[in-house]
Amino acid sequence: MTKDLFAQDALAQIPKILTLLDRNPHSPTYGCFDRNFWQYKIIDFPSGMAQEFVWPLALVYNTPLPDNPFYQQPAIRDWVEAGILYAASSAHPDGSCDDYFPFERAGGAAAFSLLACIESYSELGLNNIRALKFFEKRADWLAHHHESGRLTNHQALIVLCLDLLSNLLQTNKWDRARVQRLEKVLSWQNPEGWFVEYEGCDPGYHTLTISCLARIHQLRPDPRLKEALIKAVELADQFVHPDGSYGGEYTSRNTYNFFPHGFEVVGEWFPKALEINDRFLVGLAKSLAPCYADDHIIGHHTWNYIITWRDFVKDRPKLTPRSTGRVWLKEAQILIDRRHNTELYLALNKGGVFKLFRDNQLVASDTHFSLQVKDGSKIKNAVGHLVDSYQVQVGENEITIQGELGWAKQKQMTTLNLLILRIVMFTFGRFFPNLIRKLLQTVLITGKKNAPFRFHRRLSWQDGQWHVSDELQAKSWQGVIDAGIGGDQTSIYVVMSRTFQIGQLQPWLDLTDEVKKLSSGDLLKLERNL
């Protein structure tokens, strides 16, 4: 596979990134990448995360990618500098920034955009005292900011920012904070190799953490970090599907993320890492990568793909055939079973959500039962894919998972909710943004409330194929108005989830007619050979 696939995919995003940018030098929002703010005027503050988009522009300006119309174009250079200065002018006095609501002081947005600004400044060889003062102020804030929730990728991003800026400014003022953050990252790596992301293992964000840690190790070699990277890479290798796709709804944060750059950096001294990118390129050639091209997340993979192209290792090992057998990550509660011509990826902690491949092709993606239930004037959604401690039995040829469905998180913002949030944030909330963030995480992301439906899922290996037997029990089916099984359902709020991927064209399995035939106490039964 050719590395140019990374370049082609990245270049395709640049016109949209430029459309998101206010390119008018006489505009008060010159350099802002939040089009909802400066153009449509439908929000009352700009997202600080959007300023991350300076980095893809700096890279296409300075990198001779094939068929690159943006290379060495003076306007691009001017717009990058304007974007950096807008990040500075739109920041809070302490250097922090907001992402989704005023006075949020979002750690992730601050780290992503600072990394992009530092890298862009260095990439273009800029000389701007105002920008450097802003970098220092934001780094000071990040060095002492501790967000709610365990997101290892954010911690790794902060360490990388502190390392890069320490080198740029020739200072050691953040050395203590850097060491403390890195210790946290290493302590959050599970012995199985994965890094904690909220409630468990997300292979997608895992690749972003690898990308950051690989750069950190490159800047300051560390034997402990090298050991952690080897374990992390070996784990990531297990999640490249046989068709070249990666991740999905069976993971803790439901992402298809794949950040390839870290594997090239690690591959210089651990060649096995290069095989991961080569397997992913097979899928990229078949358009199996998800679409990241929305207004908020388009930047992440664009810059990562470009630096992957730039740092692509020339001498690569031949792809080794997948070995058959089972990988059971007991703490992540993910089971991967490879036998004959099949590969099964099964989330035991999500009720048995799975992807199944046969002859290197996706044949089934299953995100478990989903019921629409009328409760008075409301319609609620009971689902089987929420994270929980289910009753699990794993045998050589049979796997069973049972437990209760949960109520999907379907909270939407209303005018009243937005008004209340604004009032709170403009009064006492601005002094306690982490508390507000923690409350929102509880409402939108973590935790499960049980629904009055009990399921039993059994996967058994019979006659060279997987047989899936499902049962669903309810005291009453009276309120159920619709039922089915989808291939890509998720119910928690994750920024990088719910992107479109071609495997999601699998049709919805409608079970509504079967449910309508049931009486109180009856079982809904479903048998499938896959």
For the stretch 44-57, pLDDT in tens is: 999 999 999 999 99
Q: Which pLDDT score, from 0 to 100, does residue 1 have?
A: 60
The per-residue pLDDT for 146 is 87
Asked if the model's pLDDT at residue 376 lies above 70, the reply is yes
> Does residue 444 surpass a pLDDT of 70?
no
Rg (CA), the chain: 24
Q: Which pLDDT score, from 0 to 100, does residue 450 have?
A: 92
d(CA 209, CA 190): 13
**Single pTM value for the model:** 0.95
350-359: average pLDDT? 97
Which is it for the CA torsion 300, 305, 308, 309, positive or negative? negative
In Å, what is the CA distance from 38 to each residue of 78, 220, 266, 422?
Answer: 18, 40, 40, 20
Whether 456 has a pLDDT exceeding 70, the answer reads yes
pLDDT at 272: 96
Mean pLDDT in residue range 358-378: 95
Q: Average pLDDT in the 3-23 region? A: 98
Q: Report the alpha-carbon distance of residue 210 to residue 413 in Å, rounded.
A: 34
pLDDT of 426 reads: 83
What value does the mean pLDDT take over residues 289-299? 92
State the number of CA atoms in the 13 A half-sphere of 394 facing the CB.
16
Predicted pLDDT at 433: 75
443 pLDDT tier (thresholds 50, 70, 90): low
Q: What is the pLDDT of residue 303?
A: 98
Tell me how far apart the alpha carbons of residues 530 and 487 are, in angstroms, rounded to a whole number.
Answer: 14
The residue-averaged pLDDT of 256-260 equals 97
Whole-number pLDDT of residue 432: 77
- Helix/strand/coil for 259: coil
Q: Where in the chain are the domains?
A: 4-310, 327-409+449-529, 415-444
Per-residue model confidence (pLDDT) at position 399: 98
Strand partners, 482: 372
Share the mean pLDDT of the chain: 94
DSSP category for residue 322: P
Residue 200: the pLDDT is 87
Annotate 26-63 with DSSP letters as a single string: TSTTTT---HHHHTS--SSS--GGGGGGHHHHHHHHHS
Is the model more confident about 160 or about 520? 160
Q: Say if residue 148's pLDDT is above 90.
A: no
Q: How confident is residue 409, by pLDDT bands cut at 50, 70 and 90?
A: confident
pLDDT at 254: 92
Give the per-residue pLDDT at 445.
67
Residue 486 has pLDDT above 80, yes or no: yes
Could you tell me the fold of the domain covering 4-310?
Answer: Glycosyltransferase (1.50.10)
pLDDT at 424: 81
Query: pLDDT for 58-94, tens place per residue?
Result: 999 999 999 999 999 999 999 999 999 999 999 999 9
Identify the band that residue 395 occupies on the pLDDT scale cut at 50, 70 and 90.
very high
Number of helices (H) and strands (E) in the chain: give both, helices first: 17, 16
Per the model's pLDDT, the better-predicted residue between 265 and 424 turns out to be: 265
Which pLDDT score is estimated for 417?
Answer: 81
Rounded Cα gap, residues 86 and 68, in angstroms = 26
